[in-house]
Structure 1
Amino acid sequence: MMNRPLSGIGATYEHNKLLLDSFRRWTGQDLVHVELDTEKGLEEQLFNASRVILSHGTEKDPVLNYGNRMALELWEMDWEQMTSTPSRLTAEPMERAERERFFTQVTANGYVDNYTGIRISSTGRRFYIVNATVWNLVDEDGVYRGQAATFQDYRNL
C-alpha cells in the first residue's frame, strides 16, 4: 500500500526544487539537507526524508500532488490515492472550516510555523499534527503554484 512511486511517476525534479526553494525563500531554512542535487538524488532525499512532506496544487478544490514516504504511511495511501485526493479530505469535516481559515492566513503571509491540528487517514484513523510549517509554493517568476506542509511530530488519537 505504501509503495514508492515508480520511476517517472513521482514528483518531477521541478516540483521537488519548488518545494525546496519555496521553503527556503519563506523560512530561511533548508527543508532537507541536499547531498546530491540531481533529479534522482533529490527525488530520493525528499521521498525518504525523516519528516512528512506533502503539497497540493491550485485547483478550485486543491488536490494533493505530492506526498513523501512518511506522508503516504501516515495517511495510509499509495501514490495514486494520495495524488488524486482533494487536500480538504485530509481533515475531518468539523476541522475543515478551521483548516480553510488557516490556509487563507498562509496565502496572505507566505508561510505559517507551529501549526497544530487534527487530521484523518484514508481508513479513518485520527491523528494530531504538531508544529507543522505550511508555506506557499511560488516559482522563480513569482507565480503561485500551491501550498505545502511539513512536520515531524504527530500523535495518534
Structure 2
Amino acid sequence: MTSFDDGAMPMALPVRPTDTAFAELLLSSHLRLVGELLCPAVWETGRDAARWLYEQAPFGLLAHDTSADPRFVYANSTAQNCFGYSWDEFVGLPSRLSARPDGQEDREAFVRAVTAHHYTTGYRGIRVGKSGRAFWIEDVTMWDLMDTRGRIHGQAAVFRSWSPTDM
C-alpha cells in the first residue's frame, strides 16, 4: 500500500473509490485538523475503512485536488446519489460546478476559510445536481487533506444532511 506520508510526490489522481491510502488520509487529516473522528466506525483493515466510507457512509464525502481550478478526485456513493453523478462523471469535474453561478461567491468564501485555517465547520449552502436540481447541503465540515509532513494534497468535505430547496 502506498502511503501519502511515504515521501512520495502528492497523490496520483484520481484515486480509486476504495483506495486504502486515500481513506487513511481522509480519516487521519480530519482527526488531526478538526480534532474529532470523521465517523465512529472501527475497522479491521484499511480496506474495510475505505469500503465503508465509499459504499456505506450515511454522509456525503467529497474531495478535490489542489489545481488552480480544483477538480473532484473522490465522491462517495452518498454524494453521488445526492448530485446524480456516477463515479466516472464526478471524478475530474471542476468542484466549482457543484454550486450554481449565483452561489459561487459563498462557495469560494468557504474554500478560502479552509485554506486559511485548514478546516471550517457549520457551513450550509445550495448545490446543484447533474439534472440542474438545487438542494441544500447542511452540517458541512471541510478540511485540508494534509499528511503528517504538512503537505496538502487537496481538500475534503463531509455533509451530514441535505434537503430540497424551494428554488
TM-score, scaled to structure 1: 0.90
Cα offsets for 1:5-50 (capped at 9, x unmatched):
xxx9424211111110111011211112342242420121111111
CA contact (8 A) 2:121 2:140 kept: yes
- 1:127 Cα deviation after fit: 0.3
CA contact (8 A) 1:51 1:152 kept: yes
CA contact (8 A) 2:18 2:47 kept: no
Identity of aligned residues (%): 33
How do residues 108-123 of structure 1 correspond to structure 2 at under 5 angstroms? 108-123=116-131
Q: Structure 1 counterpart of 2:155, which letter?
A: Q
Match of residue 149, structure 1, among 134, 157, 165: 157
Tell me, in whole angstroms, the C-alpha distance in 1 between the residues paired with 2:117 and 2:47.
Answer: 32
Partner of 1:4: none
Cα offsets for 1:31-87 (capped at 9, x unmatched):
123422424201211111111111101111111011111000001011101102110
1:20 aligns with 2:7: no
Q: Structure 2 counterpart of 1:38, which letter?
A: T
CA contact (8 A) 1:128 1:154 kept: yes
Tell me, in whole angstroms, the C-alpha distance in 1 between the residues paired with 2:103 and 2:159.
Answer: 18
Gap regions ≥5 residues in structure 1:
1-7
Tell me, in whole angstroms, the C-alpha distance in 2 between the residues paired with 1:31 and 1:77.
Answer: 24
Tell me, in whole angstroms, the C-alpha distance in 1 between the residues paired with 2:90 and 2:44.
Answer: 25
Partner of 1:59: 67
Cα offsets for 1:66-125 (capped at 9, x unmatched):
111100000101110110211000000111122112211111011111001100001101
Partner of 2:136: 128
- 1:131 Cα deviation after fit: 1.6
Q: Structure 1 counterpart of 2:64, which letter?
A: H
Gap regions ≥5 residues in structure 2:
1-14
Match of residue 35, structure 1, among 38, 42, 48: 42
Tell me, in whole angstroms, the C-alpha distance in 2 between the residues paired with 1:60 and 1:37.
Answer: 37
CA contact (8 A) 2:145 2:154 kept: yes
Taking structure 1 as reference, are residues 96 and 11 closer, same or farther at Cα in structure 2, changes over 3 Å only?
farther
1:92 aligns with 2:100: yes
Partner of 2:146: 138
